[in-house]
């Protein structure tokens, strides 16, 4: 497994640099006051899809912590974070962004959850959906099944977007994700380097943190290359 996958956040506490977003989602989890649709938007590598998976874990976690974080230990949490849950469907819209795929999902959305109380659809790269697919999804958002939560993730600037219809945006709770600060990226890279027992010096880690452009995934990819070269 690559470093990004291995050290991907598994609870809200591990999500870097998105304090406002995490505070609200934790409160919703604590009081089980979830919205039926969310739109996570912002630059690449800032934790949108990871946060969506964590939120999906909270929907059915059997031992939700008092902080609002999923326990990470129950069957629902393990299956969701591993991408194996029957009740959580993650859709790569760059591949399955056509209207037929969305219509099929919309029809299946009405089926009851297999294990938990709720189902979640996570649409990654949602700006890649076709306009006809958006129309099919809009019908689902207008009258969603009570057990369904839809989470859209996108790098699109939703203020000036021509790819995400306003009718979709207006039906979602909006959560902006920010580029990560160099200090946050450096702290995580140091943690990874120590955990991997790699002797990279601090200067190289600082350089990687600075050139990653606030993108954690890119920083971890650079770190992996540097660690491979240092062996």
Q: Which of 46, 45, 67, 64 is nearest to 56 (CA)?
A: 64
pLDDT, mean over the chain = 93
pLDDT confidence band for 29 (50 / 70 / 90): very high
Domain ranges (residues) in the chain: 3-176, 182-230
Residue 178 to residue 137: CA distance in whole angstroms: 27
More confident residue, 146 or 1: 146
Q: Give pLDDT tens digits for 171-201.
A: 999 999 999 999 999 999 999 988 887 777 8
Contacts made by residues 78-81, CB under 8 angstroms, sequence distance 24+:
79/115, 80/53, 80/56, 81/10, 81/53, 81/54, 81/57
- CA-nearest of 120, 121, 137 to 129 is 137
At residue 13, the pLDDT reads: 93
Residue 169 pLDDT exceeds 70: yes
Range in 23-27, 39-43, 80-84, 112-116 with the lowest mean pLDDT: 80-84
Q: Which residues of 37-75 are buried (b: 16+ CB within 10 A; e: fewer)?
A: bbbbbbeebbbbbbbbbbbbbbbbbeebbeebbbbbebe
Residue 1 has pLDDT above 70, yes or no: no
Q: What is the pLDDT averaged over residues 14-33?
A: 96
Which CATH class for the 3-176 domain?
Answer: alpha beta
pLDDT bucket at 228, cuts 50 / 70 / 90: confident
Order of strands, edge to edge, in the sheet holding 88-92?
Answer: 88-92, 119-124, 148-154, 37-41, 173-176
Q: How many residues does the chain have?
A: 231
Instruction: Give per-residue pLDDT as tens, 115-128.
Output: 889 999 999 999 99
Average pLDDT over residues 145-164: 93
Q: How far apart are CA 142 and CA 202, in angstroms?
A: 51
CA nearest 148: which of 168, 124, 119? 119
């Amino acid at each position: 497994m690559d470093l990004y996958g291995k050290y991907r956040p598994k609870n809200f506490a591990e999500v870097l640099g998105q304090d406002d977003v995490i505070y609200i989602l934790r409160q919703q989890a604590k009081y089980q006051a979830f919205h039926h649709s969310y739109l996570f938007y912002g630059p690449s590598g800032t934790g949108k899809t990871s946060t969506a998976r964590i939120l999906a874990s909270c929907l059915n976690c059997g031992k939700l912590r008092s902080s609002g974080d999923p326990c990470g230990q129950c069957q629902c949490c393990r299956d969701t974070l591993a991408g194996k849950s029957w009740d959580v469907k993650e859709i790569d819209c760059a591949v399955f962004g056509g209207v037929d795929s969305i219509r099929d999902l919309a029809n299946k959305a009405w089926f009851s959850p297999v294990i938990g109380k709720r189902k979640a659809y996570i649409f990654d790269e949602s700006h890649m959906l076709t306009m006809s697919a958006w129309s099919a999804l809009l019908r689902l958002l207008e009258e969603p099944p009570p057990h369904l939560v839809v989470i859209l993730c996108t790098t699109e600037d939703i203020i000036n977007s021509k790819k995400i219809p306003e009718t979709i945006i207006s039906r979602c709770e909006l959560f902006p994700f920010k580029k990560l600060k160099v200090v946050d990226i450096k702290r995580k890279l140091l943690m990874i380097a120590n955990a991997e027992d790699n002797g990279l010096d601090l200067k190289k880690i600082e350089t990687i943190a600075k050139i990653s452009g606030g993108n954690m995934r890119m920083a971890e990819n650079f770190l992996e290359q540097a660690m491979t070269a240092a062996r």
